[in-house]
Amino acid sequence: MKSSAVTKYRPFKGVSLPDREWPNNTITKPPIWTSVDLRDGNQALPVPMNIQEKLEYFDLLVRIGFKQIEVGFPSASDTEFNFLRRLIEEGRIPDDVTVQVLVQAREHLIKRTFAALHGAKSAIVHLYNSTSPLQRKVTFSDASKEKIKQIAVEGAELIQKLAPSLPGTKLMMQYSPESFSDTETEYALEVCEAVMNVWQPTEENKVILNLPATVEWSTPNVHADQIEWFCKNMQNRNHAIISLHTHNDRGTGTAATELALLAGADRVEGTLFGNGERTGNLDLSTVALNMNSHGIDTGLDFSNISEIRMVYERMTKLKVPERHPYAGELVFTAFSGSHQDAIKKGIDRRAKDLAEDPETPFGIPYLTIDPMDVGRSYEAIIRINSQSGKGGIAYVLEREHGLHLPKTMHPSVGTSIYGIADQLGRELEPSEIKDAFYENFVNLDKPLELVDYELDHSAGKRGDVSCTAKIIINGEEKEITGIGNGPINSFTQALDNAGLKSFNLTDYRSHAITGGSDSDSAAYIQLQCDNSPNLIWGCGIDPSIEIAGLNALVSAWNSLHKITTS
C-alpha cells in the first residue's frame, strides 16, 4: 500500500482486559466440533454443491467423526430445504449426530426452517442477526442498538413458540451475534443475554452462544481477550456453551481459535481445509491435528487425510494448496539437503529408540507429526533437487532401492546426482536417482571391462587364489593373471602384473540388496589414486557377490581412470 492509502485505516480497539488469564492457560481437551462446510462453506463456493454432492460430503463428515453438522439454511432455497428432507426421510443421520440449521431472525424464514426439521431426532436451530456498528449503520440503515436487540429477541421468541411443534426432536437453540468481533463486546453480551432471557437455558439444557469473527479485523490476542471478557462477564456462564466461529481474513483464523480456546470457549465451528467466504472459515483439520500433535485425542479421524482431501476437492471443485498444513502435497517433503540429512538421521534414530522403548515420544527434526498418522508415507518425504544434500540421495537409494551406500561414498554420489538435478532445473524422481546412480557408479565397463574370469584355489600357498581374467582394455582383449588371498586381491594383482594398477584399495563393503524382487548383491570399493589423496568409489551389482565385488573394483578403476586422464 502507498502511505497515502494507509491514512484511511484506523487501529483496532479491543476490549479492556488488564487481568487476562488466557496467556497462562494450556489446551488440554478438545472442544465440541461443528462442521459448517455444508452451509458457510457451501455458500462460498463458485459452484455450490448439488444434493448428491452434499449427501456424499455429509457422509464424509460423519466418517471423520463430527457429531454436530450444520447442514444448511433450509429457508434460503429449495435445494437446501430438500437436502435436509432427504437426510431425515432417508434415515441418513446417525443417532449420535445432530444436524444444525441456520436461520435469520425473520418470521417467515423461521417458520420454513421448522417445517424442514420435521422428523429429525436431534437438531440445533441457529438464529443470527448482525450486531456491529458498521452493520447497524450500513446494512440496517442506522438502526439503533435497541432495534437490533429487538430483532434478536423476536426471533428467539418465535423459535421458543415453535419448539413444541417438533415434539419428537431433541432441540437445542443457538444464537450468533453476527459480526461479534467488531461489535462493542458489552453490547454483544447485552443482546446474547436478552436472547438467553427468552430461551431460559439451564445447566442441563444449555444454549449455544456462537461468537463469530465474521470478519477477522484484528490480531488473535484481541479475539482471545473478547472471548475471555465475555465468559467472565456473562451471567450464568454454566447455562451456555461458548462457541467460536473464526474467519481467516488476516490469515490467523487458526491462531484466533486456539487462543480463544485458552480464553474459555467450549466449541468450535469451521470447515475442512478452511473453505468459506473470502479467505475462508477456520480450518478444522488444522486445529484438530495441531491438538493431536500435542497428545490430545480430538474424536476426529484424519488418519487418511489424502482421501478426505480428494473427496473435498471433488465436491467443492477447489484445490487444497500444496503448502496447506498436514494436507498439502508438499508438506511432508524436504528439499533442502540439511533438512533431508536431519530427517534421515531422525528416522533411523527413532527406529532404534522404538526398539528399546516402544513408548518413546515422537521426535524427528522438521516433522511435527509422523506422516503415517495421516496416511501419508515416509517414501514421499524426500524429493531430490539441486538443493538436496548427500543424505537425501542416500536415503532415497536406501528406502526405494535397497542400496546401503557406505557413508564416505555419500558425498561423491550426492555431488554427481544433484548436479544432474541442477542441469535439468527440476527435482528428480526416485527412479531417475537410481538410473543416475547406475550410470555413474555401477558396473562401469569403459575403458576397462571384465569379460570373464576363473579362480583356482589350488595355486600357490594355502588360502591363495589364482585369478585368470579376460578383460577388454581400450577395445583390446587381454588375458591377465594374478595371485592373492581372495578374488578381489588376486584380480588386483592381475591388474598390477599387466601394468594397470595405479591405486591402493582402501575400502570394501557388500550387502544383499533389500526389498527388491530379485536377490542381487551390491559391493562397493574405494580406491586411492597413487600419488594423490583422491578417493574414488565404485559399485558392482550382480546376483553373485563375487562378481559384484569384481565389478565394483572395475567400476572404481574406470572412474579413477576418467579423473586421471581428464
Output the DSSP codes for 410-468: HHHHHHHHHHHHHHHTS-B-HHHHHHHHHHHHBS--SSEEEEEEEEETTSSSTT-EEEE
**Angle of helix 487-497 versus helix 545-565 axis, rounded to 10:** 40
Cβ of residue 117: shortest distance to ligand KIV, in angstroms?
A: 18
Select the residue interacting with ligand KIV from 98, 185, 214, 493 (CB under 6 A).
Answer: 214
Cβ of residue 96: shortest distance to Zn ion, in angstroms?
A: 25
β-pair partners for 283: 271
Report which residue's Cβ sits closest to Zn ion.
40
Smaller CB separation from Zn ion, 40 or 283: 40
| C-alpha cell at position 207 | 444454549
Smaller CB separation from ligand KIV, 247 or 410: 247
Per-position x/- string for 9-48, each x denoting binding to Zn ion as judged by CB under 5 A, each - no binding: -------------------------------x--------
Question: Counting contacts by CB under 6 A, is residue 212 touching ligand KIV?
Answer: yes
Give the Cα separation of 541 and 338 in Å (integer): 29
Four-residue CA torsion sign, 391, 393, 394, 396 = positive
β-pair partners for 455: 467
Smaller CB separation from ligand KIV, 40 or 53: 40
| C-alpha cell at position 446 | 569403459
DSSP 39: I
- Within the chain, what is the greatest distance between any pair of CA atoms? 111
**Applying CB under 6 A, which part among 210-218, 323-331, 395-403, 523-531 lies near ligand KIV?**
210-218
Give the Cα separation of 552 and 538 in Å (integer): 5
Identity of the amino acid at 497: N
From Zn ion, ligand KIV, none, which one binds at residue 128 (CB under 5 to 8 Å depending on kind)?
ligand KIV
Question: Counting contacts by CB under 5 A, is residue 283 touching Zn ion?
Answer: no
**Interactions with ligand KIV, residue window 48-87 (CB under 6 A):** none
β-pair partners for 527: 505, 536
Per-position x/- string for 92-111, each x denoting binding to ligand KIV as judged by CB under 6 A, each - no binding: ----------x---------
Cβ of residue 214: shortest distance to Zn ion, in angstroms?
A: 6
Smaller CB separation from ligand KIV, 70 or 225: 70
Calculate the CA dihedral of residues 92, 94, 97, 103 and round it to 10 degrees.
Answer: 20
Helix (H) or strand (E) holding 526: strand 521-529
**Interactions with ligand KIV, residue window 233-262 (CB under 6 A):** 245, 247
CB 388 within 8 A of CB 336: yes
Cβ of residue 175: shortest distance to Zn ion, in angstroms?
A: 14
Question: Counting contacts by CB under 6 A, is residue 40 touching ligand KIV?
Answer: yes
**Cis link prior to 94 (omega < 30° from 0)?**
no
Per-position x/- string for 168-207, each x denoting binding to ligand KIV as judged by CB under 6 A, each - no binding: --------x-x-----------------------------
Which parts of this chain interact with Zn ion (CB under 5 A)? 40
Which parts of this chain interact with ligand KIV (CB under 6 A)? 40, 102, 128, 176, 178, 210, 212, 214, 245, 247
